[in-house]
Amino acid sequence: MKLGCTICFAILLFIPTLVFGQQPTPSQQASTKGMKLDTGEEIFKASCIGCHGQNGTGQPQTILGFEPPGTFPDFTDCNGSTRERTADWNAIIHEGGAIRGFSDIMPSWKEALTDEQIDKLTGYLRSLCEESGWPLGELNLPRALFTEKAFPEDEWVLTSAGNLNNGGEISGELIWEKRFGRRNQLEFAAPYSFIQGSNKGWFGGIGDLVMGYKRVLMAHGTSSIFSLQGELIVPTGNKARGVGTGVTTFETFGSFGQTLTRTSFFQIQTGFELPTDTSKVSSVYYWKSAVGKTFTQNGRVGRAWTPMVEFIGERDMVAGAPMNWDIVPEVQFTLNKRQHVRLNVGVRTPMNNTVGRTTQLAMYVLWDFFDGGLREGW
């Protein structure tokens, strides 16, 4: 269930408001606010059943008597109802659809429903998913620049990193991630690299293609999540031009996410790169971690930005090899109202063994295509 489809019709208390896009009248507000509605189910049946039906699956067109600007959601569809954060549902109910780039036909109900009633209603809507095992949207933590998160996603991500010293080089990946089922994700990535030669000319191309599979092994409420992922890296790049290793490599790692407060968190990724020919390419152990806090405009309802700091350690698995540590201060921004298009910018700086290692300006642009088209929600 896309957030737009879900919430855009979730709290329409009166059909005339839906048809004409008007704000609720004072008399309507008073009649709703004066009702003794103690549970989310009571609020739903008193307010939403006219559009969403007895079971939350949506009223048929023949009963509605009008054509809504979109399709009604099925609140029993766990694939959609578990993905979004409760705070995002509350924001749209509280402020109206326009706050997340949806139709303003969905009005603000902050004068018709109390905050407590809105909390109870969103809790009831989420309870209509009766299948266990679906990770909740609160565990979909902000994506760091280098630390892989544990939550399964539907995303396109374009990353890029450029050297700020030790010669010109720009590298990155175009990543496609597709969630399926409750806890699974497929991933394909096409890395690229462009290097500046001694004659100041640039050369490069597509590197070694990556195919991966992620499985969530543990998701505990809204507090913690743990996943394992395996990847196959195929030597499709041109090693002579510096855009490939020439060796098939397997990568395996675990990812862990933990919420600290409602807006702060940390994430860990640790694993190994295991080439099939270690005489050409060394095996690598790495540790990546990120800690951050999200800030939101206008309380909990506006656009968000998330400062983070990553600590990255990598070590070739050969005798006497050092552990190289980097620090990456960064900030992720939501670019649009719907918050499904995001930008992250940071600087990766060596903390030790700095000889021959470069400082990089890194960034990505992310599009969560489950939440809408790239041009939607602005």
Whole-number pLDDT of residue 31: 43
Whole-number pLDDT of residue 37: 74
Whole-number pLDDT of residue 43: 81
Residue 102, H or E segment: none
Whole-number pLDDT of residue 71: 67
Note the pLDDT tens digit of each residue in 303-324: 899 999 999 999 999 999 999 9
Q: Which residue has the higher pLDDT, 303 or 364?
A: 364
Mean pLDDT of the residues in the chain? 86
First to last CA, the chain: 20
Whole-number pLDDT of residue 145: 98
Closest among 161, 158, 160 to 359, alpha carbons compared: 161
In the predicted model, is pLDDT for residue 69 greater than 80? no
Token pair belonging to 141? 């933590």
CATH number given to 3-127? 1.10.760
Q: What is the mean pLDDT of residues 41-56?
A: 75
Give yes or no for a contact between 258 and 266, defined as CB atoms under 8 angstroms apart. Answer: yes
Q: What is the mean pLDDT of residues 120-129?
A: 88
Whole-number pLDDT of residue 89: 83
Closest among 154, 18, 156 to 84, alpha carbons compared: 154
Q: What is the mean pLDDT of residues 261-265?
A: 95
Note the pLDDT tens digit of each residue in 196-235: 877 777 888 999 999 999 999 999 999 999 999 999 999 9
Q: How far apart are CA 175 and CA 189, in angstroms?
A: 4
Instruction: Name residues whose C-beta falls within 8 Å of residue 181's C-beta, 6 or more positions apart in sequence.
Output: none
pTM reported for the whole predicted model: 0.86
Whole-number pLDDT of residue 61: 65
Query: CB 319: neighbour CB atoms within 10 A?
Result: 5
CATH number given to 137-371? 2.40.160.40
Residue boundaries of the structural domains of the chain:
3-127, 137-371
Classify residue 276 by burial, with Cβ atoms within 10 Å: 0-12, 13-18, 19+: exposed
Q: How far apart are CA 375 and CA 90, in angstroms?
A: 24
Q: Which residue has the higher pLDDT, 250 or 87?
A: 250
Mean pLDDT lowest among 37-41, 66-70, 335-339: 66-70
